[in-house]
Amino acid sequence: MAGQGRTRREAIRSTAGLGLAVLLSASGCTSSETSGTDVRAVQRLLDSRAAAVLSRDRDGFLAALAPEAGRLRAAQLKQLQSLADVPLSSWEYRVGKVVRQGARAVAEVELRYRIDGYDTAPAAAARSVELEEREDGWRLTADRAARGGPQLLWEQGDVDAVRGSHSLVLGVGQTRQRLRALAASADRAAPAVSEAWREKWAGRVVILVPPSLQAMGALLGAPAAGYRGIAAVTTGETGAPGTSPADRVIVNPEAYQVLGGFGQSVVLTHETTHVATRAHTSAATPLWLSEGFADWVAYRGTGYSAKQAAPELLRAVRRGETPAALPADGDFSFGGDSGRLARAYEGGWLACELIAEAWGEDRLRTFYRAVGAGRHRAGAVEKAMVEILGTTPADFTVRWRSYVEERLPAGGGERRGG
């Protein structure tokens, strides 16, 4: 499952300023924006800190911290140690607004880093940094995720890394056996996705495994309750290949672990499809198409029947409640009606199954790319349906409803689809 809407980088820009305002109001201090000289001094401090992270220089890393901040020094040293197994090719800080009150200041900072071999552009995380000016310059007194921003995996504990032929799995609080099993499953998923998608993509995936559901929510900067029962999600930024960091597949260790081997394989193939199709997925792509296509790839060639893959939709058809329209984006909301969410995914999958069967797999792939090429949602599906499938949304919906009832007959047997 992969959310659409604002990119992570846009979310960073919108929340960092709020964190500054909250911290300063909480201190009861009047404030003023610092001079360019102070901003440059803070940037130099963080540049030295970044160099220490990359060189694994313990003393250099701790030198940026206020000497009397014992708890901060212990926590930061633990984070540096937690990063030991994470393959980094770059790590830098970009200082934005700095607001000062006397000898204290709070800075908006964007941490930018790359995972070696995976990120062709830096991943970004908004940080709120507190500082104190001393005789020898600025020193850090706090470094935390910006208000509303995501936590970083290494803030949750020691990170273990397992490399596969097509994957890098980074986990906290997981056994090596579990991480190796995830890497093996991802290594099977990547070639299956390449065979189904037929477009050039990186061919590899980064998987993050936090220690708990609560920790998963923290990585996403969202309430964990909304992801209960969701085995994994994919986060990423839209954009041409090479202009965005690699997507991260974030696994819910509680929901993923209760799945059988087949279910785990479906989940990772689904999420890997989102990684592969990212460059051709845009704001114009409806969720029924992006999620349905990912499920189509995941179930492709497995021999799974529609009754097995779409049990919630089957129950709806048997109640005489065949959906009147393709799933809307709102039907894919996490944390709401689980039955509606399941029917949305199943309906999107059957829509893609219909296109693959009636028009062919090549046409389905072409349709996906054509929709994603649109700049806006309005008209993108309609245009692609006319130009690629030779039909209209109204006619397609009629065919889809009939196909759903044919594949999920209320009375019993099912005709096998493509």
**Residue 21 falls inside a structural domain:** yes
How confident is the model at residue 21, as a pLDDT?
39
**Residue 2 falls inside a structural domain:** no
25 and 143 belong to one structural domain: yes
How confident is the model at residue 241, as a pLDDT?
61
How confident is the model at residue 279, as a pLDDT?
93
Give the number of other Cβ atoms within 10 Å of residue 18's Cβ. Answer: 15
SS percent in the chain: helix, strand, coil, step 5: 50, 20, 30
276 and 286 belong to one structural domain: no
Identify whether the C-beta of residue 371 lies closer than 8 Å to the C-beta of residue 289: yes
19 and 104 belong to one structural domain: yes
For the four alpha carbons of 82, 119, 289 and 272, in that order, the dihedral sign comes to: negative
208 and 293 belong to one structural domain: no
118 and 48 belong to one structural domain: yes
Distance between CA atoms of 200 and 55, rounded to whole angstroms?
Answer: 34
Q: In what order do the strands lie in the sheet with 205-209?
A: 159-163, 167-172, 205-209, 248-251, 232-235
38 and 112 belong to one structural domain: yes
246 and 356 belong to one structural domain: no
Where do we find the tokens 């959906």?
323
Amino acid making up residue 128: S
326 and 400 belong to one structural domain: yes
For residue 273, the domain's CATH number is: 3.30.2010.30
* Residue 190, both tokens: 């990547």
Nearest to 61 by CA among 43, 81, 41: 81
* Residue 118, both tokens: 């995976």
Identify whether the C-beta of residue 116 lies closer than 8 Å to the C-beta of residue 89: yes
Nearest to 209 by CA among 265, 145, 156, 269: 156
**Residue 367 falls inside a structural domain:** yes
Name the domain boundary from 87, 114, 149. Answer: 149
How confident is the model at residue 413, as a pLDDT?
61
Instruction: Per residue of the chain (418 residues), give pLDDT as tens.
Output: 654 333 333 333 333 343 443 344 444 444 455 567 789 999 999 999 999 999 999 999 999 999 988 999 999 999 999 999 999 999 999 999 999 989 999 999 999 999 999 999 999 999 999 999 998 899 999 999 998 889 999 999 999 999 999 999 999 999 999 999 999 999 999 999 999 999 999 999 999 999 999 999 999 999 999 899 899 999 987 665 666 899 999 999 999 999 999 999 999 999 999 999 999 999 999 999 999 999 999 999 999 999 999 999 999 999 999 999 999 999 998 877 889 999 999 999 999 999 999 999 999 999 999 999 998 999 999 999 999 999 999 999 999 999 999 999 987 666 555 4
**Residue 117 falls inside a structural domain:** yes
173 and 202 belong to one structural domain: yes
Amino acid making up residue 125: A
Range of the domain at 221: 154-281
* Residue 408, both tokens: 């999920």
403: left (phi over 0), alpha (psi -120 to 50) or beta: alpha
187 and 242 belong to one structural domain: yes
Beta bridge partners of 123: 113
**Residue 345 falls inside a structural domain:** yes
257 and 288 belong to one structural domain: no
Distance between CA atoms of 350 and 384, rounded to whole angstroms?
Answer: 18
**Residue 351 falls inside a structural domain:** yes
Distance between CA atoms of 354 and 390, rounded to whole angstroms?
Answer: 14
Output the CA angle 343-348-351, nearest 5 degrees.
125
Distance between CA atoms of 418 and 416, rounded to whole angstroms?
Answer: 7
Does pTM top 0.75 for this prediction? yes
